Amino acid sequence: MDSLGKGKLAGTLLFVLPLAFLALVFFLPLWEVLGLGLREGGHFTLARFRELLSDPYVRYLLRFTTEQALISSALSFALGFPLGWLLARYRFRGREILRAATLVPFVLPPITVALGFVLFFGHSGYLNRALMGAFGFESPPVRILYSLWGIVLAHAFYNAPVFARFVAAAWEGLDPEPLEAARTLGASPFWAFLTVTLPGLLPAIASAFSLVFIFCFLSFAIPLTLGGARYATLEVGVYLFARVYNRVPRAAALALLELLISLAFAYLYIRGGGLFSGSREGSGRTLPRTALFSRRAHILWGIYLFCAAVLFLGPMLSVVADSFLRAGPTLRWYRLVFSPAHNPYIGASPLRAIGVGVSVAVMAASGALVLGTAIAWGLRTVGRFPFSRVLEAVLLAPLAVSSVVLGLALLLAFRRPPLSPLAGTPWGIALAHLLLTYPFVVRLVKPMWDALDPELREAARTLGADPLRAFLTVELPLLSRPLTAAWAFAFALSLGEMTAVAMLSRPGLTTIPFAIYQLIGGRQFGAASAMATILIVVTGSVVFLWERLASRVHLR
């Protein structure tokens, strides 16, 4: 076989092998969930669905999940829209830092946010203690924890930046001429905003609202920690039925119901995203930015920024402060976290939980990098064919499946060969994290790969190199930084992921986020804060490395 034939064979294998791998570890387990949820007496039937929807508790889960997702999305909009307005229309020192800070909530693992809300907004939390000391209240004035509003506020912490970034990008892209024309014709600033600016922002707002609704609908760690069984969502319900109540068929049927609903909203988001991403033709100019605090009315922005700082900084600073100040200034909790002694709340030593979490993240990120790069190769190969969009959707299908549904699918798959050896091992958790993270590797690597100068590869081919050799000698060195950045991002995602671990863990096998959850359940807040602080520092550092590497990529 000549070099050209070997190159084509290697390219085909790099495309077919990922499909076979996904069929074994993703599609077949998902099919088993489908069968368990719909099959009864050896036949497919909707009887289990009808039974499910007749259960008052399931109806409550569906109603509460939808209710909290709608309220969370509305509050996220109320908090995020002014921030997007501020970033788009005003100039001030630190504006770029503030824009970059809108990415911070996406870096933080949800369990650290839940812990921060417990420590900051709890009855004996930092906020209530400060208000009671300052104003002499005899009882805690802020009582939102372990309620619907605690969950909603925590979701707003996460998702308000989504609205801010969507609104800021849309506002900066608006053509200023219609607004100027409205003002010339005598419209007041408020009326011009309502009739000209706001209609131009509505597609972005609709896209952001759909996306945030999906995030809140599929949320797991925050409702589990701040709501428990009383304020459970569908995600928490699947976990409770599968791991607590041991009613796996009921969990499978509930997972399918959740999957159908989430796919419907994902479709609406894609439709809305198409509207938002549509091209705009205008003068090419942008509206000039106003200097912040240049007018007396801008004092309202100061009030907003203070409230936003309390909401966004208070919980995270509480975690860090609690790790050093609980029971006085001390490093006791960090010594406990790095102790090899058995902890009854975790079921293992905290040091082992850290070791398992880091090793799982390394395995998952490395596997995601290999799989994601191979899929990016395949998608570039078939990018010009009519079925390429369908194939891309198939290869990136884990994006449309929630973590708890994936965890349930693997929990069932690990019961029999060929995946049974992975049950109860770090490799099993790493496989779940690989499936959750590799689509992000594809989304990060493929655009940078597409942006490489094609003449370099063509020159290598002209000199006799087959496709594989051209990739190894020309493209791979140029992609070293994007690949390193993608690995770092996958590592951070895996290190903070908790949902799949909750479905697949066993006594003695836990990772950092699930160990934090177990410590919170045991009221061991000092140790939980120390471990959460370590997680915040590590994930933040890794994502900072990712941003630095991504920013240094020069493609053309």
Give the pLDDT score at 270.
61
228 φψ region: left (φ > 0), alpha (ψ -120 to 50), beta (else): left
Dihedral angle sign, alpha carbons of residues 5, 8, 12, 14: positive
Burial of 296 (0-12, 13-18, 19+ CB in 10 A): exposed
Copy the structure tokens of residue 85. 């307005």
**Superfamily for domain range 46-107+148-277:** MetI-like (1.10.3720.10)
CB 159 within 8 A of CB 215: yes
DSSP string, 362-402: HHHHHHHHHHHHHHHHHHHHSTTSTTHHHHHHHHTGGGGS-
Nearest to 426 by CA among 512, 346, 343, 342: 512
- Over the stretch 103-158, which tens digit does the pLDDT of each residue have? 777 678 899 999 999 999 998 899 999 999 999 888 999 988 888 999 999 999 98
DSSP 141: S
Q: Taking 50 as the threshold, does the pLDDT of residue 554 lie above it?
A: no
Helix H or strand E encompassing 354: helix 350-381
Q: Which residue has the tokens 């590799």?
A: 438
Report residue 511 as tokens. 């990772």
Picking from 2-11, 91-100, 177-186, which range would have the lowest pLDDT averaged per residue?
2-11
Rounded Cα distance, 395 and 376, in Å: 10
| Stated length of the chain | 556
Q: What does DSSP say about strands 290-291 and 90-91: parallel, antiparallel, or unpaired?
A: parallel
- If one compares 454 and 194, the residue with the highest pLDDT of the two is 194
Contact residues for 393 (Cβ-Cβ < 8 A; gap 6+): none
d(CA 145, CA 297): 34
- Start-end of H helices in 218-349: 221-226, 234-239, 248-276, 299-325, 332-337
- Token pair of 418 as six digits: 């060929």
Distance CA 236, CA 244 (A): 11
Q: Is the pLDDT of residue 482 over 90?
A: no
Give the model's confidence band at 390: pLDDT under 50 very low, under 70 low, under 90 confident, else very high. Answer: confident
In this prediction, residue 516 carries a pLDDT of 95
Q: Name the pTM for this structure.
A: 0.86
The larger pLDDT score, comparing residue 544 to residue 58, is at 58
Q: pLDDT value at position 37?
A: 85
Burial 477-500 (b: 16+ CB within 10 A, else e): ebbebbbebbbbbbbbbbbbbbbb
Q: DSSP class of residue 296?
A: G
b/e sequence 447-473, b meaning 16+ C-beta within 10 Å: ebbeebeeeebeebbeeebbbbbbbee
Q: Rounded mean pLDDT of the chain?
A: 85
CB environment 20-44: b (16+ within 10 A), e (fewer): ebbeebbeebbebbbebbbbeeeee
The one-letter code for the residue type at 128 is N
10-14, 79-83, 208-212, range with the lowest pLDDT: 10-14
User: Which one, of 350, 348, 369, lies nearest residue 493 by Cα?
Assistant: 369
- pLDDT band (50, 70, 90) for residue 83: very high
Q: What is the pLDDT of residue 391?
A: 80
User: What Cα–Cα distance (Å) separates residue 479 from each residue in 14, 41, 378, 473?
Assistant: 17, 53, 16, 11
152-190 pLDDT, tens digit each: 999 999 899 989 989 998 898 888 888 888 888 888 888
pLDDT tens, 255-305?
988 888 877 777 766 655 443 344 444 445 667 788 888 888 789 999 999
Q: Residue ranges of the domains in the chain?
A: 46-107+148-277
Q: In 41-125, where do the E strands start and end?
A: 43-44, 90-91
Q: 276-290 b/e with 16+ CB inside 10 Å = b?
A: beeeeeeeeeeeeee
Phi and psi for 333 in degrees, rounded to 5?
A: -70, -30
**Confidence check: pLDDT of 363 > 70:** yes
Tokens describing residue 36: 């368990």
Sequence-distant (6+) residues with CB within 8 A of 411 are: 242, 503, 504
Residue 251 near residue 241, CB atoms below 8 Å: yes
Give the tens place of pLDDT for each residue, 408-464: 999 999 998 999 999 989 999 999 999 999 998 998 888 888 887 777 777 766 776
Write out pLDDT tens, residues 498-507.
988 899 988 8
DSSP code, position 509 = B
The 10s digit of each residue's pLDDT in 195-247 is 888 898 988 898 889 889 988 999 999 999 998 778 899 999 999 999 988 89
Task: Tell me what pLDDT residue 14 has.
Answer: 65
d(CA 57, CA 55) in angstroms, rounded, equals: 5
